[in-house]
Structure 1
């Protein structure tokens, strides 16, 4: 009896941990956790901004390795690397097994995603033209937050055809790939070529071990840490290393393997990413003072107004217009399950920027805390507006789909 009493709590803890991990693999729970982290940051910042700012600007790390970073920098450059590693795996899976493996199927979400990056940037530049340092923020409204967008879709429109979720997921995956390219190319000011080469070697060795089907975390973790470190000190944003490693991860299972390394890594890291990485980043990035002055900056600062217009208006025009153009040119076709009104609703949903928009905003205006806070406010407001509008339209579309099925 004593043995049962001692072991039972441990078994219960393991079971609950597994159940929690499974829950965090769903978009709904991950989005809710991130939402609570954002609300906690906003509450703390508005109750005592000084203590909140002191927390996220606290510096620690070995200075001799050039890693004496602020806490929010550790979240941006360190933790988000895990998020982008998972994103890199998703991109690889999409290219090998998903929508992107078929050119005909890929044309619709790819063109929609490309236009969904270009048009918001143009809308932003048009609205912010002439504002001080406006050119630095053009990439902020180009991103879609995959976790929040899929969470809203799951909560409000779970009865919608699966093709709609597949379209949004593929768009978001291509969007993430484009965003990391933008970060690597346009937000690298000082480049250390030797460190970058060392990082590339570490990533190549990781890929070689994957190709040779070497097993064991001991072989990959040191290379991943080295790749992250060298890319971090090279001047290129460290999250690029995460995407590169994800793309190098093997997506086919070999002899004796129940799962491919990519599937196994995704299974283990997705709960960590959704339950810890992204919420911590959101908590350390989203804390802004929401007073009359802060909210007024949305209308007084054309950069912030450009961010809001780019996400709410530009994303809709870009994603919907890109999809329509792909079909109109005969490059793709719309699924028989979907209507263009469904595409309009999900195109508005793409205006939820959040994680990557906040990251790019911090990179663009990190030298100006006041502008950074104003841009953060704009991203939050735009994401909220896009969420509400999309949720309303999606609920209407759900009722229409249900009515159509009943009629049949």
Structure 2
């Protein structure tokens, strides 16, 4: 091996390491812990000063705080990767065959409807619940897959595909909720620019153009136009991901979607999502504020929606889909496995924190985000315990 090839190989190995779900989950957990410690330390003023520091051109309405850049900008990378994954699953993956696609889609729908209804019923009448009901509808892809990778090495690979498909569909639903619920006004000119940019992106993909010098500026124009139109800018990431080609041409080593996913996944896992968590999870926690989370209707609605609503929604919808013969269980996966995976669906985290930020302000936002962190911790620990048992069962005698 030459001297020049060693650094390149090391970088490739490091990128491969960052692409693993376990690594992404650990980095996300560390970033969250740093945020909580920092926000509850004597350096809290420094944390808030950095998070609230504004930068960017005002004439494009981009004079955002660093926290907003993490939420609107960096998360667009995460959602672009999610869009690529969804497109791949729809075209060449598990979701490309109707019978295989039905179960995670139905489970995801159940996992959105039941938590939303639970949150609405428990929080009915509480200020902000008209928007906060959306907080428990999401499942965190990175964190959930990280817990699965750490605890369930002996489960069939079809269990991971089920969870990934469910989480991607789930997050797509959450993205649509964000687009509908949190678009207060719409700028027609900026919207038209965004549509033209997306059409041009799709045309370039169709014509097999591969130049990054065209795609990177076009992606930035799309992001700015979507943001200026009044729609949450992460929608730009999803739209671009869904327009990216996923089938390789003859003689082509990798399709653009696969190539981009491999290149961007490490940045998403190691930079974009952790930095978002760093500035979103910095909640001040005291005895009184923690007690209020368990005695106030809105945060209680969020916690119960995530922990119980997800289990009931995902598992119940899966049982009904199989019972009425519109779907089949994943190969080698039993109902106890699906029950454990359903509890893992209660790890809301990234998207739930994002919706809490968009839906609420001040103390209500802090309480809702605390509820998301508590519910995600309970769901991940409970699911980890169940998955360890299921993994041991699969290592010995199957159901």
Correspondence for 1:262 among 257, 264, 278: 257
Q: Distance in 2 between matches of 1:166 and 1:267?
A: 18
Q: Distance in 1 between matches of 2:166 and 2:44?
A: 36
Q: Distance in 2 between matches of 1:128 and 1:240?
A: 28
Residue 63 of structure 1 and its aligned partner are, at CA, apart by 1.1
Q: Which residue pairs with 1:371 in the alignment? A: 364
Within a 5 Å distance, the mapping from 1:91-106 to structure 2 comes to 91-106=86-101
Mapped contact 1:140–1:361 kept (Cα < 8 A) = yes
Residue 255 of structure 1 and its aligned partner are, at CA, apart by 3.7
Q: Which residue pairs with 2:129 in the alignment? A: 134
Unpaired stretches in structure 2, ≥5 consecutive residues? none
**1:23 partnered with 2:17:** yes
Correspondence for 2:38 among 44, 57, 69: 44
Within a 5 Å distance, the mapping from 1:289-328 to structure 2 comes to 289-328=284-323
Please list the CA deviations of residues 47-72 of structure 1 after superposition, one character each: whole Å capped at 9, or x if unmatched. Answer: 03222111111101111221100001
**1:344 partnered with 2:356:** no
Correspondence for 2:116 among 103, 117, 121: 121
Correspondence for 1:75 among 47, 70, 79: 70
Residue 16 of structure 1 and its aligned partner are, at CA, apart by 2.9
Q: Distance in 1 between matches of 2:351 and 2:148?
A: 19
Residue 13 of structure 1 and its aligned partner are, at CA, apart by 4.0
**1:282 partnered with 2:272:** no
Mapped contact 1:294–1:377 kept (Cα < 8 A) = no
* Stretch deviating more after TM superposition (14-23 or 99-108): 14-23
Q: Distance in 2 between matches of 1:100 and 1:233?
A: 33
Within a 5 Å distance, the mapping from 1:1-12 to structure 2 comes to 8=3, 12=6
Mapped contact 2:82–2:238 kept (Cα < 8 A) = yes
Unpaired stretches in structure 1, ≥5 consecutive residues? none
Residue 300 of structure 1 and its aligned partner are, at CA, apart by 2.4
Mapped contact 1:213–1:254 kept (Cα < 8 A) = no
Please list the CA deviations of residues 326-352 of structure 1 after superposition, one character each: whole Å capped at 9, or x if unmatched. Answer: 001110121351211111000000000
Mapped contact 2:128–2:359 kept (Cα < 8 A) = no
Mapped contact 2:78–2:272 kept (Cα < 8 A) = yes
Q: Which residue pairs with 2:54 in the alignment? A: 59
Aligned length: 398
